[in-house]
Amino acid sequence: MELASTEKPPTPIRHETIFVQPETPTALHGRETFKISDGNNMTIRFGLSSLHVVGGTLDPARFCSALSRTLQWFPTAAGRLKRVGDDWQIDLINDAVPVHLASSPSRHVLPHTSAEGDGDPPAAAHVVQPSSHVAPYLARVDPVAARKGEPNAHLCTFVLTDMGDGRTVIGLSWNQVLGASGWH
């Protein structure tokens, strides 16, 4: 079924959360911190999100294994934000990144993707740009909690939603400190 532009998708049902740690040693092995600014805190004020629609049902164990290997090369995503004087840094604590497993209560077509009608390659047609339709498929990061150093203020989160029709939606939310374009 096609969603009307004002119709909200049904809220996915969350079943389980798996916490994934980076494989070690990480690319920044031996370092305890990663300095990210000299008093410029504009990049830490925002959370960014995107959805990726994958044809097929993903195996959560394989996804988490791949994520663990990815975090090995990007250990800042498994760190915690910390202010030291006027500067900001990421403490490289190899914390676990949450992956929420969910299923959609009904089959439906997601709203328009980034590539519909704009001539982009077919692969880009599977990235859903932010809109009111993406919120049910995300576990948004909290940049304010991250700046305060709260213990559950992850710098990135994932939601894997089994759509029940042979597709999986990967919801990714990250603190802008990890990069303006994130991992998409």
| Domain assignment of residue 184, yes or no | no
Residues 6 or more apart whose CB falls under 8 angstroms from that of 33 comprise 82, 89, 90, 91, 92
Q: Is the model's pLDDT at 14 over the cut of 70?
A: yes
| Domain assignment of residue 52, yes or no | yes
Domains: count for the chain? 1
**Residue 87 backbone dihedrals phi, psi, to 5 degrees:** -100, 160
CATH label of the domain that carries residue 80? 3.30.559.10
The residue that leads in pLDDT, 4 or 9, is 9
| Domain assignment of residue 183, yes or no | no
Banded model confidence at residue 130, pLDDT cuts 50, 70, 90? low
| Domain assignment of residue 58, yes or no | yes
Domain around 62:
17-178
pTM: predicted TM-score of the whole model, two decimal places:
0.81
